[in-house]
């Protein structure tokens, strides 16, 4: 299987929305599942903020990166806002390729720190992020109530070396 990563295009919207619907579970998001017909790109997410992975020419996953705080003193920090891989392509290194591509792109742009938030029960995602150089910076205990249970919000970060 050949995996290529690239910046998303507007015509990726249907494939990305489909992946969002396929991958949503209460272990990956405290928000409700996306309703059918919900657009992927909106005011918060535009194609330039998303990297997609194609497996043999088919959109198989994405990572979205953006600013977490809209203040000038925080411009050096970027946040991974979403990562998803089509279940039909899981286990092929696509998640790692996407996270690595996102961190590399941010390093080239001069980003000092890349952060993310992951739910405590999502052990597979936490392991993936750790293998990509992320470390736990803190845990917000019981931050969400999901299916009647309190769930921790794990804050992770990496400091990519500048690459130009």
pLDDT 10s digits, 120-159: 999 999 999 999 999 999 999 999 999 999 999 999 999 9
Cα–Cα distance measured from residue 113 to residue 69, given in angstroms and rounded to the nearest whole number? 13
Distance of CA 104 to the CA centre of its chain: 14
pTM to 2 decimal places: 0.93
So what's the pLDDT on residue 164?
54
Q: Does the structure show a pLDDT above 70 at 22?
A: yes
Question: Is residue 163 scored above 70 in pLDDT?
Answer: no
State the chain's mean pLDDT as an integer. 94
Q: Any idea how long the chain is?
A: 164
- CA 105 to CA 162: how far, in whole Å? 10
């Amino acid at each position: 299987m050949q995996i290529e990563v690239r910046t998303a295009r507007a015509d990726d919207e249907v494939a990305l929305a489909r992946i969002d619907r396929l991958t949503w579970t209460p272990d990956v998001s405290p928000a409700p599942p996306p309703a059918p017909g919900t657009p992927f790109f909106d005011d918060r997410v535009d194609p330039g903020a998303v990297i997609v992975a194609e497996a043999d020419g088919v959109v198989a996953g994405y990572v979205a990166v953006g600013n977490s705080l809209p203040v000038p003193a925080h411009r050096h920090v970027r946040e991974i806002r979403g990562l998803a891989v089509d279940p039909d392509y899981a286990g092929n290194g696509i998640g790692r390729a996407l996270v690595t591509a996102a961190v590399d792109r941010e390093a080239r742009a001069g980003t000092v720190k890349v952060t993310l938030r992951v739910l405590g029960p999502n052990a597979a995602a936490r392991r993936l992020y750790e293998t990509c150089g992320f470390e736990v910076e803190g845990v917000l205990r019981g931050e969400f109530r999901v299916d009647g249970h309190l769930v921790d919000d794990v804050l992770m970060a990496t400091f990519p070396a500048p690459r130009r």
